[in-house]
Structure 1
Amino acid sequence: MGRVVLFEMNSQDPERAASFYASVFGWEIGASNWGYSPVTTGDADKPGINGGISKGPSDYPHGIRIQIEVENIDEAIRKSVESGAQLVRNKMEFDHFHLAYLVDPVGNGIGLIEHK
């Protein structure tokens, strides 16, 4: 079962967004890496869904995407496209995971993540 493991919040003013969520909700915002600032929304007593805030690219300038963890990203991409999703960014490789971006059949942005 694919489970939601994190979120990505894209903005054209990520510093302002980070400041807002930190001051209003107490989110911990980490140092930016690759233009992506990690976000912690809970603690050991009350864990939350963590994620990140970044400057949105031209194909997704603002909004929130959930990241769904999958065991086989190639298979998940194939099944998604066959079921009506649009592939926005094909599988990208990072140090510890693979990531792809899609839009589901009703227009919601999602990410697929496979840990290595």
Structure 2
Amino acid sequence: MGKIVGFEISSQEPEKAVKFYSNVFGWEFSEPHWDYWAMSDVKGSDNKGIMGGISKGPSDYPHGTRIQIEVVSMDAAISKAKENGAMIVREKMQFDEFFLAFLIDPTGIGFGLIQKKY
């Protein structure tokens, strides 16, 4: 797999960011859940797009944008990433429909791993 399936914009002022992106680009957001405002319509006229949203950034990643990369096995991907110099920021977390983890690559770029539950 390894395809980019989502993005997350982290902000210490997520409500302000939601208003900005709504006003400038017409993005629509769902009501917040776990300090995360999911985009409610990410599909373009060609019915393609990636999922994304805006979150209240944690103290270790207070602002910025990070991609989410889909993997078949979260544990295997984390292990391989660590072997190649990545640092784990958030260990594997479980949500209703997926697992999620946050890492930083050897150059300092943050990214997420996501594994869907089938």
TM-score, scaled to structure 1: 0.94
> Match for residue 80 of structure 2?
79
Alignment gaps of 5+ in structure 2:
none
2: CA distance, partners of 1:11 / 1:58: 10
Q: Return the structure number with greater strand share.
A: 1
Q: 1:60-105, CA deviations, whole angstroms, 9 ceiling, x for partnerless residues?
A: 1001110000000000000001001101111011111111000011
Distance 2:106 2:53 in 1: 24
CA distance in 1, matches of 2:61, 2:31: 22
Contact 1:91-1:100 within 8 A present in 2 as well: yes
Query: One-letter code of the match for 1:31?
Result: E
The reply on whether 1:12 has 2:12 as its aligned counterpart is: yes
Is 1:53 the counterpart of 2:54 in the alignment?
A: yes
**Which stretches of structure 1, 4 residues or more, deviate above 4 A after TM superposition?**
none
Tell me the alpha carbon deviations over residues 20-71 of structure 1, each in whole angstroms, 9 at most, x when there is no partner. Answer: 1111011111110111010133335353222010110111100111000000
Aligned length: 116
**Within 1, Cα distance between the matches of 2:64 and 2:47?**
25
Q: Which runs of 5+ in 1 are unaligned?
A: none
Whole-angstrom distance in 2 between the partners of 1:97 and 1:44? 27
* TM-score between both structures, scaled by the size of structure 2: 0.92
Secondary structure of the structure 1 residue equivalent to 2:82? helix
Coordinate RMSD, CA, aligned: 1.2
